[in-house]
Amino acid sequence: MDHFAYHAGLLCAEDVPLPDIAASVGTPFYVYSTATLERHFRVMDEALAGLDRLVCFAVKACGNLAVLRALARLGAGMDVVSEGELRRALAVGVPGERIVFAGVGKTRAEMAAALSAGVGQFNVESEQELVALDAVAREMGVRAPVAIRVNPDVDALTHAKISTGKAEDKFGVPIARAPAVYARAAALSGIEVVGVDVHIGSQITALEPFEQAFAKVAGLVETLRADGLTIRRVDLGGGLGIPYVRSNEAPPLPFDYGAVVRRTVGALGATVVVEPGRLIAGNAGLLVAAVIYRKQGEGRDFLIVDAAMNDLIRPAMYDAWHDIVPVVEPGPDAPVAPVDVVGPVCETGDTFARARPLPRLEAGDLVAFRSAGAYGAAMASEYNARPLVPEVLVAGSRFDVVRRRPTYDEMMSRERIPDWLD
């Protein structure tokens, strides 16, 4: 469920008509619904009711400070993968102990920053990282709380570019080797072993991969405890998919995911950490664009909009589907016809949809790309020297620009021409 619906013939974000935002900030723009963010966080938290739990929002999905603050107010922890994301989590008031630092390539500088912030957990991905973290922690006179990320060799049945739990993926330590790595960690004076971590991928639309991976983790926890280690945390990562309004994608409900968690690791008596990103933010955001031209091609029509692949790269990178809807509600009998929805970037890959059935739209009409709140603005770039689009947060009848569109002069001011080129 989200809070984007037609009212009086106009698509609205909560109680704000999207044309009102377009008139204020121009197009394209991202808009997020506070009510949807809050609802999705609560649904995930309630799915794990009865367990000692920590729901950490994956900052990489949508790192806008206002979005993070909206979730922090509800008690969300944060899952970060860089010093920049760590700083964002701290800036919105999330205490260090509710932050998990993940990622395969943490630098020593990032480790030091996270230790200084008192993060509650490092998800360590390799033995070299473990040794480096131990050295940094000893230099600082502290101990680093560690959960080692294990690779369970489970196929998440998702897109190859967002699969993270198979043996050939770059993430984690092979689960068969994990006891030996944990034994090494326990012998390091700068390391405090606190848990086990696993994450098998993103946009997962079946429960079976989770069940397989979590069962393997539960078996590993029992083995490690038998070896004398105190394992008080089980970090299950994120990955539960969302519906992108396509008939062949029907992800399980968070309640059903919670039942799998209870069935597999619930009896361990450990704190369960989950790290949803897309599940919370994905359907809480839209990308709104205006039609520039309608173009008739050889055997197909093109709808050229002012958003592009640099604004929303998921279709180009992942062949991702986003439902595209007119902002002005079409009549019940409005005819539809297939059209390719494309952007103005000089790449054939700058295509959002092919042969998408849509009512007839003309220059100046607004369209909304649904389910764009996760990995939309967060992955945007200034390719083709296009400014980053503004981000807007709505709460009821109010809206605020929470990241403005930069000017061209601001974009160029970050660069300089060396004197020797004069």
Average pLDDT over residues 282-302: 94
pLDDT top residue among 244 and 97: 97
Q: Tell me the per-residue pLDDT of 159-204, one tens digit each, with 9 for 90 and over.
A: 554 444 445 556 789 999 999 999 999 999 999 999 999 998 878 8
Q: Is residue 148 part of a domain?
A: yes
pLDDT-based confidence at residue 243 (cuts at 50, 70, 90): confident
Same domain membership, residue 360 and residue 327: yes
346 is catalytic: yes
**pLDDT band per the 50, 70, 90 thresholds, residue 98:** very high
Arithmetic mean of pLDDT, 309-322: 94
Residues 250 and 366 in one domain: no
Range of the domain at 11: 4-31+282-413
Determine the average pLDDT of the residues in 4-32. Answer: 98
**Tens digits of residue pLDDT in 122-157:** 999 999 999 999 999 999 999 999 999 998 888 655
Residue 299 has pLDDT above 90, yes or no: no
* pLDDT score, position 156: 55
The domain that holds 340 is classified in CATH as 2.40.37.10
Q: Are residues 200 and 84 in the same domain?
A: yes
Please indicate, yes or no, whether residues 253 and 340 belong to a single structural domain of this protein: no
Average of pLDDT values for 255-275? 97
Identify the domain boundary among 276, 308, 336.
276
* The pLDDT value given to residue 260: 97
Domain stop point among 225, 255, 276:
276
Asked if residue 386 belongs to a domain, the reply is yes
Task: Output the 3-class SS for the chain.
Answer: CCCEEEECCEEEECCEEHHHHHHHHCCCEEEEEHHHHHHHHHHHHHHCCCCCEEEEEEHHHCCCHHHHHHHHCCCCEEEECCHHHHHHHHHCCCCHHHEEECCCCCCHHHHHHHHHHCCCEEEECCHHHHHHHHHHHHHHCCCEEEEEEEECCCCCCCCHHHECCCCCCCCCEEHHHHHHHHHHHHCCCCEEEEEEECCCECCECCCHHHHHHHHHHHHHHHHHHHCCCCCCEEECCCCECCCCCCCCCCCCCHHHHHHHHHHHHHHHCCEEEECCCHHHHHHHEEEEEEEEEEEECCCCEEEEECCCCCCCCHHHHHCCCCCEEECECCCCCCCEEEEEEECCCCCCCCEEEEEEEEECCCCCCEEEECCCCCCCHHHCCCHHHCCCCCEEEEECCEEEEEECCCCHHHHHHCCCCCHHHC
Last residue in a domain, options 213, 246, 276:
276
Domain count, the chain: 2
Do 14 and 93 sit in the same domain of this protein? Answer: no
pLDDT score at 160: 54
Q: In this predicted structure, what is the pLDDT of residue 212?
A: 92
Q: pLDDT category, 158, cuts 50, 70, 90? A: low
Q: Tell me: the pLDDT tens digits for 39-63?
A: 999 999 999 999 999 999 999 999 9
Indicate if 290 and 371 belong to the same structural domain. yes
